[in-house]
Amino acid sequence: MAGSNEVNLNESKKVVPLNTWVLISNFKLAYNLQRRPDGTFNRDLSEFLDRKVPANINPVDGVFSFDHVDGATGLLNRVYQPSSHNEAQWGIVDLEKPLSKTEIVPVIIFFHGGSFTHSSANSAIYDTFCRRLVNVCQAVVVSVNYRRSPEHRYPCAYDDGWAALKWVKSRTWLQSGKESKVYVYLAGDSSGGNIAHHVAARAAEADVEVLGNILLHPMFGGQIRTESEKRLDGKYFVTLQDRDWYWRAYLPEGEDRDHPACNPFGPRGKSLQGLRFPKSLVVVAGLDLIQDWQLAYVEGLKRSSQDVRLLFLEKATIGFYFLPNNDHFYILMDEIKNFVNPNC
Amino acid sequence: MVLYDSAMSAGSSSGSSSSSSSKPPPSSLQQDIDGLLAGAGYKVRSSELRQVAQRLERLETAMGNSPADLSQLASDAVHYNPSDLASWVDSLLSEFTQPPCQSEFMMDPVTNQPVVNNGWTTNEPHAPQVHQNISYEQQNLNPQLTVVTAMEEDSGIRLVHMLMTCAECVQRGELSLATSLIDDMQGLLTRVNTGCGIGKVASHFIDALSRRIFQGIGGGGGSILGGSAYENEILYHHFYEACPYLKFAHFTANQAILEAFEGHDCVHVVDFNLMHGLQWPALIQALALRPGGPPLLRLTGIGPPSPDGRDSLREIGLRLAELARSVNVRFAFRGVAASRLEDVKPWMLQVNPKEAVAVNSIMQLHRLLGSDPTRTSPIETVLSWIRSLNPKIMTVVEQEANHNQPGFLDRFSEALYYYSTMFDSLEACTVQPEKALAEIYIQKEIANVVSCEGSARVERHEPLAKWRTRLNGAGFKPLPLGSNAFKQASMLLTLFSAEGYAVEENEGCLTLGWHSRPLIAASAWQAVTDPAAEFPTWDNRQPS
């Protein structure tokens, strides 16, 4: 354990509002209870503790949602849409008509975080976040319930992400604009950001168009210990020890953290030079211990001549976007709104 | 399967707000609950935030200092109601600050308060917390969720649209239009696979609508609504076998009853609907294996009277007695024959003041919600005499659906969602004739919800949030079902059922559903003790 516990607790309390501190500390301790030292995971306890919410076909604050199970894969996707201005349309989802024949309505495929292990598309924190995304961008959001580790290791999450992308692309009711196509962005926080990268890379190789990637403190890593990892270990809710655990749970047995899933631009990584990779918005929290890996990722994209915008929020901790009670949240929402602007 | 208009009727009771500007302040504000944490699924009072934060800190320190394997302790500990963050943290604190040799979990399951450990010095006095059940009105009261399956065939979508339009016509009294829609739908059915999916469900709803239009709402006649008690029992038994909903109900209720009966030598279970007594062999066996030996178990089973001189209640009782004898559990059975639950009087149950009583209601309470404005409502009467029995526990299982709304169209669309999901889940069952008979069982429910009114409509399902309000108001307080019950229910599912079923924890209650849609909810309750009014049980022989 790096540093004394008391110092660390005091540090984190100074930088986030009280209710955020309570929320994230609660997750931290609950997650500690669920991870076992032998690498197994108490899934029952995890599901019991996770706060879930049902979808709601009736609009709440301008957004309605419904769940769809993809018959072929058994994958559950939760679809969020802005409610129609016409009240008579409320409670209706027409799976025959496109979103719009004239305007472009972006569809953001969202991969929730949880270090590949925790949370679901119907977790309360992610349901709430997706609803905010819909309102900010006036877009449709599809939240993917990908299979989690350690029960399902690499490449399951990526396969599920790819399946979701193909599913979204093939829905006529997600089409918009004069050209009747589905305008897709990929987004994700933590492990979800990692998934978004890898799905985008596969899409680029398969010539499937993705308009943009939004990576919210994406989960990357590597074998060596970086300066930020050493400096911030245990200080702001996250420890190196738990990061290591989640990588061991996700990567194939016996692999190390330079596996390209974890370290896409590392010694075993691949350049994206020449590929039609989407433009990226990478958000880094200045108090996140893995920021050096995220910054390295940004450099890797640049070296591959890919379009990337870095949003570095110096005083932000992980999970700053769960509650709209801080400046970082609003800065983030503005950035995302501009990024997903259909006129760009 | 497609979704459609559910909020069209005038005076619609849908729970969601229409525009943010005209909303009343959310109930969370009124009760000082931190609104942002509520959005994350946690109920914490703003005034308590600092306290909770301090306890989280202490918990982290305690966990860090814990000598034993942390996760082993976590696996053994029973967690309750995670939404109530303050008490969850407290319960873990007491778990982690026990001396290592003590394995007893120091939680009072009744009050959900940690038992004060004298060796632990606290800075602030341990203030008793009132665990209010704040219903998260906006989302839970009207969960218009649907799980859209991959069947997006044109005909299927059109059928659903037409069903909704037809129901709307029925609500408006435009019966001739409704009738022609029925004809059109019958025609469309010939082009759709009615063996499964949307076709099958649609055909049941078309039948129910026809019945309502052509036979009226009295509920008489026709094989689907009638049926003898004997036939109903057969259908129920097959529904029990074909899918896990009833097994989950029994299992979860038995677990809670077992815990409530701990330490009692004389126990009495009152079952509001005995059927074939499917729930009780497991409880009898569990009691037989109880450390310290089994109690004397009395079971009072309520059921409809049997015609032709048969006494089916007694037959079931004899079989259960046989089983009890074989495992050395002293057992006594009593059958109470009543056509309606509200006809039962508490003195018929012959509850002894010294015994621990469990009242068990599996999908029975909703039948009491039909109200005749000239009488006291049956639900109030029954809940009141249940309280007078001073039960150790009341286990309640109900369909998690809003099928008792006043507007017909609202009810219809809610039922269409609910039963579509239930039929989807049934697809996974391959055993016959269980599956076919289970479907008839469900069909009867659909027919009752859609084509009956007044006293004939008995399937008046209400969601958990409404039951909470009702039971709290009737003088009951929740007994949270914990993570052990959750875990065992999950295990049960993996053993007996297909992929897709999910158990969820909902503020101390457990639900079982198909994918992300809960379909059945189980909860446990205890009467709030009222020192002001004594209810002697022997003297409840009130003139009827």
Task: Give the start-to-end residue ranges of the domains of chain A.
Answer: 11-83+97-340
Q: What is the pLDDT of residues B471-521, one digit of tens each?
A: 999 999 999 998 889 998 998 888 877 788 999 999 999 999 998 899 999
Q: What is the pLDDT of residues B262-271, one digit of tens each?
A: 999 999 999 9
Pick A51's closest partner by Cβ from B2, B83, B487: B83
Residue A11 sits at the chain B interface (C-beta within 8 Å): no
Per the CB < 8 Å rule, is B145 touching A71? no
Residue A68 sits at the chain B interface (C-beta within 8 Å): yes
Count of beta carbons in the 10 Å neighbourhood of residue A277: 22
Please give the helix or strand (H or E) that residue A80 lies within, else none.
Answer: strand A76-82
CATH number of A11-83+97-340: 3.40.50.1820
From A46, A120, A190, A280, active-site residue: A190
Percent of chain B with pLDDT over 70: 77
Chain-wide mean pLDDT for chain B?
A: 80
The yes-or-no verdict on residue A158 having pLDDT over 60 is yes
Q: What is the pLDDT of residues B86-128, one digit of tens each?
A: 999 998 888 777 644 333 334 444 444 444 332 222 233 333 3
Pick B139's closest partner by Cβ from A29, A53, A71: A53
- pLDDT at site B115: 40
The yes-or-no verdict on residue B11 having pLDDT over 60 is no
Touching B: A residues 75-114, CB under 8 Å? 76, 78, 87-88, 90-96
- pLDDT at site B220: 55
Residue A22 sits at the chain B interface (C-beta within 8 Å): yes
Average pLDDT value for residue range B224-252: 88
Contacts of B146 in chain A (CB under 8 A): 55, 57, 66-67
- pLDDT at site B466: 96
Average pLDDT value for residue range A61-75: 87
Comparing C-alpha atoms, which of A58, A52, A244 is closest to residue A143?
A: A52
- pLDDT at site B218: 66
- pLDDT at site A5: 54
- Ranges A199-213, B51-65, B277-291: which has the least confidence: B51-65
Is A65 annotated as catalytic?
no
- A284 contacts A312 by C-beta, under 8 angstroms: yes
Distance from first CA to last CA of chain B, Å, rounded? 50
Average pLDDT value for residue range A266-271: 94
Per the CB < 8 Å rule, is B146 touching A94? no
Percent of chain A with pLDDT over 90: 86
Task: Tell me the whole-structure pTM to 2 decimals.
Answer: 0.79
Pick B150's closest partner by Cβ from A34, A52, A70: A70
- A236 contacts A286 by C-beta, under 8 angstroms: no
- pLDDT at site A7: 56
Q: What is the pLDDT of residues B338-371, one digit of tens each?
A: 988 989 999 999 999 899 999 999 999 999 998 6
Average pLDDT value for residue range A134-163: 97
- Nearest-Å Rg of the Cα atoms of chain A is 19
Per the CB < 8 Å rule, is A57 touching B6? yes
Task: Report the alpha-carbon distance of residue A306 to residue A210 in Å, rounded.
Answer: 13
- Would you call A37 helix, strand, or coil by DSSP? coil
Q: What is the pLDDT of residues B137-169, one digit of tens each?
A: 333 323 333 334 333 456 677 788 889 999 999
Q: Does domain B242-400+461-527 have CATH number 3.40.50.150?
A: yes
Size of interface A-B (CB pairs under 8 A): 205
Chain-wide mean pLDDT for chain A?
A: 93
- pLDDT at site B13: 32
* CB-side neighbour CA atoms (13 Å) of B285: 7
Per the CB < 8 Å rule, is B74 touching A69? no
Comparing C-alpha atoms, which of B154, B157, B184 is closest to residue B169?
A: B184
Q: What are the structural domain ranges in chain B?
A: 147-215, 242-400+461-527
Average pLDDT value for residue range A290-298: 98
Distances (CA, A) of A246 to A34, A43, A151, A221, B270: 12, 14, 12, 11, 49
